[in-house]
Structure 1
Amino acid sequence: MTGMRLPLRMAFSSMLLWSFALVGLPLLLGMSVTAYLLDQVAAQARSSVAVAVQLTRASRQLAQDIDNLQRASGQCLVLKDVALCDGVRQAHVAFEQDAAQLAAMPLPGAQLRTLQTLRDQETALFANVMASGGAKDGSRVFDALNPRFDAMRTAAGELIAHSNQLVDAQEARLQQVSGRVWTVLGWLALASVSLSVSLALLLSWLLGRPLRQLKRAIRRLGEGRLDQAPGVDGPRDLVDLGVQLDWLRRRLAELEAQKIQFLRHVSHELKTPLASMKEGVDLLTDGVPGPLNAEQQSITRIMRGNVRDLHQRIDSLLHYDSALHAPVTLQLVTVKLRLLLASLIRRNHLTLRARGVRVDCGCSALQVRGDRAKLESLFENLLINAIRFSPQGGRIGFDAEAVSGGVDIRISDEGPGVAPEDLPHLFQPFFQGRNQPASALRGTGLGLALARQYAQMHGGTLELLPHTGRGAVFRVFLPDPPQPPTALNA
Structure 2
Amino acid sequence: MQQLIKKLSFYHVSIKTLTLMGFGLVAFPLVFAFLYSANQVNSLSQQGTTAIFNVAELVENNRKLSQTLTRLERFASQFVVLKEQELLTQYVEEKQELINLLSQEFSRYSDEQFPLLIEQFTNKVNEIDSLIQSTAADSLSLDTVQSLFKQLAQVNQQLSLHTNEVINQRANAMEASANHVKRTMLFSLLIIPITLLIAGVFIVLITLPLKVLLGKIKLLEQGNFQQSITVDGSIEIEEIADALETMRSRLHALELQKSSFIRHISHELKTPLAAIREGTELIYDKSVGPLNNDQQEITHIIRTSVNRLQRLIEDLLDFNIVLDSTSLQDAEVINLTTEIERALTLRVLDIKRKQLIVNMDVGKISLQCNSKQLSVILDNLLSNAIKFSPDKGAITIKAWVEQHALYLTITDQGTGIASSLHSKIFDAFYQGPAKHNSQIKSSGLGLTIVKELLMRLNGSISIESNTTSPSFTTFTIKLPRAKVMSLNSIPTSEKT
Task: Normalising by structure 2, report the TM-score.
Answer: 0.46
Q: TM-score, with normalisation over the residues of structure 1? A: 0.47
Higher gyration radius (CA): 1
